[in-house]
């Protein structure tokens, strides 16, 4: 064999040197790359980011993505399944990155990040983020089951949101959290100014009118289950804009614009007509006795002719009034309490039920409960997390439920994402529950399927059943 001597005259074998090189490469792979997704890992990211920042003269964009159902998933699918799911999500993420010259990495078990050198136009970043969200909404297949998931994305820009790696990551993290808290399946910029700009820059306003005319606004339905027996006892109609280029847009992307264009009443009318018609179909095809909940915009609620319009739509579609529940956000009832009282009375004379949506986020909520003639309150999602972690919040929510019951009101809780949250609210006798734990909003066809099979969501931990995720 070939023999070489080092400086001290020791013999070094060629083969040995090769082995050392290989071992070194393997070590670097283990050190710098995540074995599950094959993406650069946290260590590598924290190592590279400062040089990227220097290299780009601090002009860098960081996108952070997290699956909305992450918490529920870790409680329900096995570790191996969870990893293969993350690998699939990362593959979609990476493919996207390759098309867009971005640097993907896995920051932690649950968080993927992209670094985009430079700061593209806000509209361009929005498009990238939107495309990523769309790719995460394609079904995932895990353990032979199909899961529909969604993600939240936070976006931070250097230098304005953070000058070093740590600050930038923290900003993206906080934007990601706020996107998730706003309902998930959306992106938020760290800077609120850019958030507003993203909307107008997307040029949605000019397209909105056309979209309404061409039937691009469609309804999805989120099941609401009974706290007593876990059967679907209702659905909430939630509007989506099926945009030809941008994919499905959520209401927060356009509902403000609808109001600004003065189209709220028209939209509410369209949604009421369509959802009442579909509710009659559920009744006729599946004999189902579920309640339809429809959100009412502040504008419609203040429009004098609104109760008559509702009466007209019920007559025209043939839906029984007591099958319809109108959700009015607490704040629109508080603008002019005297008038709200009259409108609510008139609506109840039509025979529909009225609910106060986002309850707890308004001013002096409890004191108004006694005066407003409503049938039901929907406790806002923001309380759901806190009941498990904050004893003061837990006490307030528990007392609210008791008070509502003593006034003869039903209590609905929205935004239930974990088994523990569900158990807390069942223990405190919430009447109806809604949230990703049971089901995300689904299409009309998917709802038909659910009603046909009369799905029941018993505590899924009993049998590891993933239905409804």
Q: Which of 250, 292, 404, 447 binds ligand C2E (CB under 6 A)?
A: 250
Could you give the CA distance from residue 390 to residue 394 in angstroms, rounded to a whole number? 6
Stretch that binds ligand C2E, among 3-11, 246-254, 348-356, 364-372 (CB under 6 A): 246-254
Burial of 215 (0-12, 13-18, 19+ CB in 10 A): exposed
Mutual orientation of helices 264-286 and 306-317 as an angle, nearest 10°?
Answer: 30
Size of the site for Mg ion (CB under 5 A): 4
Q: Does 358 bind Mg ion (CB under 5 A)?
A: yes
Q: Does 268 bind Mg ion (CB under 5 A)?
A: no
Q: Does 435 bind ligand C2E (CB under 6 A)?
A: yes
Stretch that binds Mg ion, among 59-67, 276-284, 291-299, 363-371 (CB under 5 A): 291-299
Q: Which of 63, 271, 340, 377 binds ligand C2E (CB under 6 A)?
A: 271
Question: Could you tell me the smallest distance in angstroms from the CB atom of residue 335 to ligand C2E?
Answer: 15
Question: Could you tell me the smallest distance in angstroms from the CB atom of residue 230 to ligand C2E?
Answer: 16
Question: Beta-carbon neighbour count of residue 4 at 10 Å?
Answer: 10
Closest-approach residue to ligand C2E (CB): 435
Stretch that binds ligand C2E, among 50-58, 340-348, 415-423, 448-456 (CB under 6 A): 415-423
Query: Could you give phi then psi for residue 398, rounded to 5 degrees?
Result: -60, -40
Q: Which of 104, 184, 227, 468 binds ligand C2E (CB under 6 A)?
A: 184
Could you give the CA distance from residue 155 to residue 273 in angstroms, rounded to a whole number? 38
Q: Does 439 bind ligand C2E (CB under 6 A)?
A: no
Q: Where are the alpha helices (DSSP H) in 151-191?
A: 165-181
Q: Torsion-angle region of residue 143: left (phi > 0), alpha (psi -120 to 50) or beta? A: left
Q: Which of 357, 410, 417, 431 binds Mg ion (CB under 5 A)?
A: 357
Q: Concatenate the DSSP letters of all residues of 193-208 into one string.
A: HHHHHHHHHTTHHHHH
Question: Could you tell me the smallest distance in angstroms from the CB atom of residue 432 to ligand C2E?
Answer: 13
Q: Report strand pairing: 145-147 vs 140-142.
A: antiparallel
Question: Could you tell me the smallest distance in angstroms from the CB atom of residue 177 to ligand C2E?
Answer: 11
Q: Which of 104, 183, 234, 360 binds ligand C2E (CB under 6 A)?
A: 183
What residues pair up with 325 in beta bridges, in sequence order? 293, 353
HSE, side-chain direction, 13 A CA sphere, residue 64: 27
Structure letter (DSSP) for residue 9? S
Q: Does 410 bind ligand C2E (CB under 6 A)?
A: no
Q: Which of 94, 173, 357, 431 binds ligand C2E (CB under 6 A)?
A: 357
CB 309 within 8 A of CB 302: no
| Footprint on this chain of Mg ion (rule: CB under 5 A) | 295, 327, 357-358
* Binding residues for ligand C2E (CB under 6 A): 180, 183-184, 222, 237-239, 250-252, 255, 268, 271, 295, 297, 327, 357-358, 381, 414-417, 434-436, 441
């Amino acid at each position: 064999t070939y023999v070489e001597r080092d400086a001290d005259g020791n013999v070094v074998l060629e083969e040995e040197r090769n082995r050392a090189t290989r071992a070194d490469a393997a070590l670097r792979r283990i050190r710098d790359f995540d074995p599950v997704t094959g993406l650069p890992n946290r260590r590598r990211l924290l190592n590279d980011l400062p040089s990227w920042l220097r290299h780009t003269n601090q002009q860098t964009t960081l996108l952070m993505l997290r699956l909305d159902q992450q918490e529920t998933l870790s409680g329900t699918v096995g570790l191996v399944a969870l990893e293969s799911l993350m690998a699939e999500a990362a593959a979609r993420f990476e493919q996207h990155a390759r098309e867009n010259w971005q640097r993907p990495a896995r920051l932690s078990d649950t968080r993927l990040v992209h670094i985009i050198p430079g700061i593209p136009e806000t509209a361009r970043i929005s498009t990238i983020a939107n495309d990523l969200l769309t790719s995460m909404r394609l079904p995932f297949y895990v353990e032979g089951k199909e899961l529909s998931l969604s993600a939240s994305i936070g976006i931070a820009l250097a230098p304005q949101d953070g000058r070093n790696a740590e600050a930038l990551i923290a900003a993206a993290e906080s934007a990601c959290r706020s996107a998730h808290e706003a309902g998930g399946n959306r992106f938020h910029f760290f800077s609120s100014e850019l958030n507003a700009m993203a909307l107008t820059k997307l040029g949605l306003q000019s397209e909105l009118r056309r979209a309404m005319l061409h039937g691009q606004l469609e309804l999805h339905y989120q099941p609401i289950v009974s706290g007593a027996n876990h059967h679907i006892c209702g659905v909430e109609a939630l509007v989506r804009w099926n945009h030809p280029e941008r994919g499905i847009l959520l209401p927060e992307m356009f509902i403000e614009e609808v109001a600004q264009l003065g189209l709220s009443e028209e939209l509410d009318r369209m949604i009421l007509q369509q959802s009442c018609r579909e509710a009659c179909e559920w009744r006729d095809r599946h004999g189902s006795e579920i309640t339809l909940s429809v959100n009412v915009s502040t504008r419609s609620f203040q429009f004098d002719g609104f109760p008559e319009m509702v009466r007209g739509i019920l007559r025209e579609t043939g839906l029984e009034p007591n099958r319809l529940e109108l959700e009015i956000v607490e704040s629109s009832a508080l603008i002019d309490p005297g008038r709200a009282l009259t409108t609510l009375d008139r609506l109840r004379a039509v025979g529909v039920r009225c609910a106060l949506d986002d309850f707890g986020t308004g001013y002096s909520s409890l004191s108004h409960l006694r005066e407003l003639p409503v049938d039901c309150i929907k406790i806002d999602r923001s309380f759901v997390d806190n009941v498990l972690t904050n004893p003061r919040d837990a006490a307030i929510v528990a007392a609210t439920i008791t008070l509502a019951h003593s006034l003869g009101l039903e209590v609905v809780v929205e935004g239930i994402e974990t088994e523990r949250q569900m158990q807390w609210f069942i223990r405190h006798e919430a009447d109806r529950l809604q949230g990703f734990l049971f089901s995300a909003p689904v299409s009309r066809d998917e709802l038909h399927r659910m009603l046909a099979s009369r799905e029941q969501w018993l505590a899924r931990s009993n049998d590891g059943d993933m239905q409804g995720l």
